[in-house]
Chain A
Amino acid sequence: MKRFRVAVHIVPRKGLLDPQGKAVAGALHTLGFSSVGDVHVGRHLVIEETATDAAHAERSVREMCTRLLANPVTEDYEIASVTPA
């Protein structure tokens, strides 16, 4: 068994109103970053996981996303990286 560090991005589902993202975009425009379009605020989790290989570590974290980490009604998730811990 090896230790892995699995990074997950959880973001609001596209099309759903994201007031936090809008507020951040507004603040960036105020600062002069006029090139900024939509902003979405989500969560970034780093999970240390013990598994036989990277594929198993990823599969396990996907199940965690389905069952707890992401809300299936409002959020999407993606595995950003799986690296040896």
Chain B
Amino acid sequence: MKVGVVSFPGSNCDEDALLAIVEQLHEQAVMLWHKDHDLQGADVVILPGGFSYGDYLRSGAIARFSPIMQEVVAHARKGGPVIGICNGFQIAVEAGLLPGALLRNESLQFRSLPVTLRVESTATVFTSAAAKGALLTMPIAHGDGRFVAGPEELDRIEGEGQVAFRYVDATGAATAAANPNGSMRNIAGVTNRTGTVVGMMPHPERALEPLLGSTDGKVLFESLLSLTKA
């Protein structure tokens, strides 16, 4: 398996995502520059966190039009796996790969803290190795992470199993207090209809080493390995 990590001007989690693949999975990973026009044979694309293009206009709005994103969208349309983390989630949403939108946190504060997530769907390329209902701890670090969608769209993505992760408390309950940004229905991550594109605000690539407080991000990257066995 070869994983391509897209580096935009302002990306700051691209190296972490690359290391996650190389050091945790011992798979091939290649950095893809935003001006590139080809994915260099990558089977999986990671859109990493950061502040691409300074988050001008809206988070992810400009990055979406970069040359590499045309290739990423084409790859996703053919069923190719794409993972968007934090800013990468915002970019995937702006590119129309995932439903909804991400707005300024309800608190108006940049929130950097560990959160607990409940795995809502295991029918995705990034959660297939996790148990449904499993609780995972990993950090968030964002100012624009409030997931919103129209009421009908929200019911549709819930009904079709497109909610991948929810913010919950230590007991697994999706409470308002456990919701760090005011996301509708505590949604922390979503997937497309086929489970091949996943976007999430929390950072699994920052939850791989015991030294950093959690290794719960591993199961998400290990899920990618099922792609090679398939």
B65, B101, B104, B146: which contacts A73 (Cβ < 8 A)? Answer: B101
A interface list, Cβ under 8 A from B = 12, 16-17, 19-20, 23, 43, 68-69, 71, 73-74
Interface residue B107 (Cβ < 8 Å from any Cβ of A): yes
Given contacts A17-B182, A20-B108, contact A74 B57 (CB under 8 A): no
Kindly list 17 other residue pairs between chains A and B, CB separation below 8 angstroms, not including A73-B100, A73-B101, A73-B149. A12-B103, A16-B103, A17-B106, A17-B146, A19-B104, A19-B105, A19-B108, A20-B108, A23-B108, A71-B58, A71-B61, A71-B101, A73-B148, A73-B150, A74-B101, A74-B103, A74-B148
Q: Report whether over half of chain B's contact residues are helix, strand or loop; otherwise say mixed.
A: loop
* Chain B residue at smallest Cβ distance from A16: B148
B56-101 at interface with A (beta carbon < 8 Å): 57-58, 61, 65, 94, 100-101
B interface list, Cβ under 8 A from A = 57-58, 61, 65, 94, 100-101, 103-108, 146, 148-150, 153, 182
Distance in angstroms between the alpha carbons of A17 and B103 in the assembled complex:
10
Q: Are A68 and B57 in contact (CB under 8 A)?
A: yes
Distance in angstroms between the alpha carbons of A43 and B104 in the assembled complex:
14
> What distance in Å separates the Cβ of A66 from its nearest Cβ neighbour in chain B?
13
Inter-chain contact count A-B, CB under 8 Å?
A: 33
Q: Are A19 and B100 in contact (CB under 8 A)?
A: no
Distance in angstroms between the alpha carbons of A81 and B1 in the assembled complex:
53
Chain A residues in 8 Å Cβ range of B104:
19-20
Q: Are B101 and A19 in contact (CB under 8 A)?
A: no
Most B Cβ at <10 Å: residue of A12, A17, A20, A43: A17
Q: Are B57 and A19 in contact (CB under 8 A)?
A: no
> What distance in Å separates the Cβ of A6 from its nearest Cβ neighbour in chain B?
16
Q: Are B148 and A69 in contact (CB under 8 A)?
A: no
Chain B residues in 8 Å Cβ range of A74:
101, 103, 148
Q: Are A68 and B108 in contact (CB under 8 A)?
A: no
> What distance in Å separates the Cβ of A7 from its nearest Cβ neighbour in chain B?
16
> What distance in Å separates the Cβ of B146 from its nearest Cβ neighbour in chain A?
8
Chain B residues in 8 Å Cβ range of A16:
103, 148
* Chain A residue at smallest Cβ distance from B58: A71
